[in-house]
Amino acid sequence: MNERAAEVPIIWEFIKKYKGKSVLEVGNVLSHYFSVKHDILDYYEKAPRVINQDVVDFSPNKKYDLIVSISTLEHIGFNEKPKEPKKILQAIKNLKSLLSKKGKIAVTLPLGFNPEMDKFLREGKMEFSKIYCLKRISKENEWVETNWEEIKNSKYNFPFHGANGLIVGVAEK
C-alpha cells in the first residue's frame, strides 16, 4: 500500500526490454519481488550478489546498457551525517558515466521526502531528458499520470501515507 505499487511495474518494464543486456540496479529492490540476474549496487544492504559500494565512487570495469533505481537516490547525501545535499547530483553524474554508448537510466523518485532533491528537480539540476509524473489520488493507493505542476509541491505522508507525488526520470548518454 505504498509507492512501490506504481514504481516496481514501471521499472520492471524497462528491465524486461533490456533482457540479455548489461543492467545495473542502484538499491536492492527488485530482487524482493522477482528473480533477477542483473548487477545490484546497494551501499547498506548485505545480500548475496549485492555490491556494497558508494554510488559516487562506483567504477566497474564495464559499461551498462540500462541503470535503474527505485526510490533510492533520494537517500544519497540526505540520510548521511553530515548531510551532503549535492551528493545526489554527483551520483547521477557518475551513473551517466557508467552508461554504454546508447545506455539509458530510469529512476523513480518520491517527492517531499528530500527537500534538497525536490529543489534540484524544480531547478532542472537533475539532468533528466524526460520526466514522467505520477500523483497518488486515494488512500487505496491509486495513481494517475499527471504533469510536473500538479506534483512539484507534493508532501511525503500527506495526504496519504508514503509518497503522494512520484517522478520517473529518464536520462540517456
What confidence score (pLDDT) does residue 127 get? 87
Write the pLDDT tens digit of every residue in 19-68.
999 999 999 999 999 999 999 999 999 998 899 999 999 999 999 999 99
Write the pLDDT tens digit of every residue in 4-31.
999 999 999 999 999 999 999 999 999 9
pLDDT over 90 (residue 1): no
What confidence score (pLDDT) does residue 43 get? 95
Q: Which amino acid is at 13?
A: E
> β-strand 50-51 against 64-70: which pairing, if any?
unpaired
Q: Give the dihedral sign, CA 138/139/140/141.
A: positive
Residue 17's closest CA among 104, 92, 140, 84? 104
**Distance of alpha carbon 88 from the chain centroid:** 11
Residue 1's closest CA among 137, 151, 161, 111? 161
Report the CATH fold assignment for 4-172: Rossmann fold (3.40.50)
Write the pLDDT tens digit of every residue in 82-140.
999 999 999 999 999 999 999 999 999 999 999 999 999 999 999 899 999 999 999 99
What confidence score (pLDDT) does residue 171 get? 96
From residue 145, how far is each of 113, 117, 121 by CA, in Å? 20, 21, 18
Burial 31-49 (b: 16+ CB within 10 A, else e): beeeebebbbbbbeeeeee
Please, which residues have CB within 8 angstroms of residue 46's CB and are 6 or more apart in sequence? 52
pLDDT over 90 (residue 150): yes
From residue 48, how far is each of 20, 102, 171 by CA, in Å? 21, 29, 29
What confidence score (pLDDT) does residue 146 get? 98
Contact 110, 72 (CB under 8 A): no
What confidence score (pLDDT) does residue 143 get? 97
